[in-house]
């Protein structure tokens, strides 16, 4: 990693984005076991869950309980931040009550996806999310705001770049400087990744950039590396490659955390992340669900 390269922050989202599509109920205690094992890997941020309506996303019904259990226990390293996703004011109130340190909020650039995901058109969702983000910032929370479907939509196809940038400008005008682009439908290509993030940096070179890619069409890691080269610092991924948005047309898994860490380590980036525990956890996840997971490295092992 040369002096011009950005730092890398690993944001593990398997317990939220990874599990939200699963029909099989995962006991809270099993989630806590997986959480504790993730704490041992050296990843920087762990997304515990989302404060959403349990009727829409039943797997997230125990998010409040997970945060309370973690607060009552010990062994959370000071270097690890626990995050959560919220989509509306009720979710924010629950997150604040649970003492969430990093709040993740997002607006879809696709009208169809926005309506399916939040029940709101893009303009209304943007206003409400910006207001929540500002309130969260005033209350002392760290905040990351995202644009979902930033590279395309499974229902609409191409998403106008201006729609993405309109949301970005709303964030920047509100003083929100930690911004993620999410490839909800998995339509991104490396050239699109560099262009979108480059456009944001043209507006504000000091912005903290994050990315969230799905591997629906097999380009997840290629897009991760393109984002890294363009100056993105935070990379969201899911152990074993679990996940996918239940409100898009073709749901594909997230970039696999152990695959991404393996790639970075091979290129002398973030060699401090413990890969073996990640691989062991991915195998445990695969065993729990009784099926092969999308990740590759957990199956073949790492290159020593």
Catalytic residues: 245
Name the phi and psi angles at 112, rounded to 5: -65, -50
CA 153, distance to chain mean position in Å, is 17
Is the separation of the CB atoms in 253 and 243 below 8 Å? Answer: yes
Which among 147, 157, 146 is positioned nearest to 185, based on CA atoms? 157
Beta-carbon contacts of 60 under 8 Å, excluding residues fewer than 6 positions away, are 16, 19, 20, 49, 50, 51, 52, 54
Cβ neighbour number for residue 18 with a 10 Å cutoff:
27
Helix and strand numbers, DSSP H then E, in the chain: 11, 8
Sign of the Cα pseudo-torsion (23, 25, 28, 29, in order)? negative
Buried b (16+ CB within 10 A) or exposed e, 30-58: ebbebbeebbebbbbbbbbbbbbeeeebe
Is the separation of the CB atoms in 274 and 41 below 8 Å? Answer: yes
Is the separation of the CB atoms in 114 and 108 below 8 Å? Answer: yes
Alpha carbons 234 and 11: distance in angstroms, whole number: 7
């Amino acid at each position: 990693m040369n002096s011009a390269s950005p730092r890398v922050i690993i944001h593990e989202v398997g317990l939220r984005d990874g599990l939200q599509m699963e029909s099989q109920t995962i006991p809270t205690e099993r989630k806590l076991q997986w959480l504790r094992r993730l704490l041992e890997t050296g990843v920087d941020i762990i997304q515990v869950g989302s404060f959403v309506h349990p009727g829409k996303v039943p797997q997230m019904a125990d998010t409040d309980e997970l945060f309370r259990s973690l607060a009552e226990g010990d062994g959370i390293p000071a270097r690890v931040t626990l995050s959560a996703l919220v989509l509306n004011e009720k979710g924010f109130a629950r997150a604040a009550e649970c003492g969430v340190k990093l709040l993740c909020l997002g607006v879809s650039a696709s009208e169809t996806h926005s309506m399916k995901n939040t029940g709101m058109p893009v303009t209304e969702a943007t206003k409400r999310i910006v207001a929540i983000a500002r309130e969260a910032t005033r209350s002392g929370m760290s905040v990351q705001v995202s644009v979902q479907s930033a590279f395309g939509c499974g229902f609409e196809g191409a998403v106008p770049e201006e729609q993405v940038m309109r949301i970005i400008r709303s964030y920047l005008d509100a003083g929100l400087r930690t911004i993620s682009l999410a490839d909800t439908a998995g339509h991104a290509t490396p050239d699109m990744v560099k262009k979108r993030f480059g456009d944001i940096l043209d507006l504000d070179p000091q912005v903290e950039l994050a990315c969230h890619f799905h591997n629906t069409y097999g380009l997840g890691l290629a897009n991760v590396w393109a984002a890294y080269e363009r100056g993105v610092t935070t990379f969201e991924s899911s152990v074993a490659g679990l996940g996918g948005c239940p409100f898009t047309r073709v749901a594909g898994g997230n970039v696999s955390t152990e695959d991404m860490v393996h790639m970075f380590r091979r290129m002398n980036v973030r060699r401090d992340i413990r890969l073996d525990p990640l691989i062991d956890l991915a195998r445990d996840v695969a065993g729990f669900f009784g099926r092969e997971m999308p990740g590759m490295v957990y199956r073949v092992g790492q290159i020593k």
